[in-house]
Structure 1
């Protein structure tokens, strides 16, 4: 017998304050898109990266949204833009984008299979990879540099 549970995608599973920078930026952009469309998502991205990089990230996000709009299994549930909680769908989407961007291909494909129909898995993963790479670059640029701790010419691995 299955137990009756309310396991919706809005169920809080984490806090924004505890998210890594890439995941927090993915969630902020997703919330912007969900509440105000492409313009709101672009506003979020412009606040964190250069205009050219925001435009490139937005193009990839538009591809993501287009694929999700046509082939999704169900709509992703999002919290309000300034909510301190992270919902289950938001956390899964951020994990998917991170995996796609950082080359964890098998994980990304598996997570994509939970969101879209089979024929759209590869396209969604490709769009997530492009989107995530732009966001990852922006979070790396915003991170404190190690130049003060390392002498010039030192190779850091």
Structure 2
């Protein structure tokens, strides 16, 4: 799960964080933190809970945990991740983030095709479904946050 040692085919740098869409960069950040250990996993929880609230956050975190666990357990080869502070994005990280983007945007067949490159074919429908659920949860949270931020203060009348 790290770049050090062994077969590092999926670790090749393919992009930088600042060149990625915001949602993909956020997913990769969550993925790196989650795989780094329990202390970093709490950072993922705190961020998701802040975005979605505790109830929706728990649901989204559970989906994320299932997604990452399934990919790591059934990967065709070890998934390679860059370090927490690395500004470049590895091939495996970029592919996983793009899978979430495709699944979230309704391009299920393309997402499933990408999933079959990462995991066994029998697992790819579940990976795609989890990716879609997680991506949609974050998207809904962003929409709700934007709606709340643009709403007028309570108790004021607008003319």
Greater fraction helix: 2
Structure 2 counterparts to residues 140-151 of structure 1, below 5 A: 140-141=143-144
Provide the residue aligned with 2:109 in structure 1. 106
Q: Given the two structures, how large is their TM-score scaled by the length of structure 1?
A: 0.77
- Contact conserved, 1:25 with 1:135, CA < 8 A, in 2? no
Aligned with residue 72 of structure 2, among 48, 69, 73: 69
Provide the residue aligned with 1:26 in structure 2. 27
Cα distance change of structure 1 residues 33 and 46 upon mapping to structure 2, 3 Å threshold: same
Task: Name the CA distance, whole Å, in 1 between partners of 2:22 and 2:72.
Answer: 26
Task: Name the CA distance, whole Å, in 2 between partners of 1:146 and 1:109.
Answer: 36
- Contact conserved, 1:26 with 1:135, CA < 8 A, in 2? no
Structure 2 counterparts to residues 33-112 of structure 1, below 5 A: 33-37=34-38, 38-46=41-49, 48-112=51-115
Provide, for residues 51-88 of structure 1, a one-character-per-residue CA deviation record: whole Å limited to 9, x for no partner. Answer: 33321211111221232233211222111222211111
Deviates more, 1:87-96 or 1:63-72: 63-72
Task: Name the CA distance, whole Å, in 1 between partners of 2:150 and 2:105.
Answer: 21
Provide the residue aligned with 1:133 in structure 2. 136
Deviates more, 1:37-46 or 1:106-115: 37-46
5+ residue gaps, structure 2, are: 1-6, 152-159
Deviation at 1:127, TM superposition (A): 0.8
In the comparison of the two structures, how many residue pairs are matched? 142
Q: Given the two structures, how large is their TM-score scaled by the length of structure 2?
A: 0.76
Deviation at 1:48, TM superposition (A): 4.2
Deviation at 1:44, TM superposition (A): 4.1
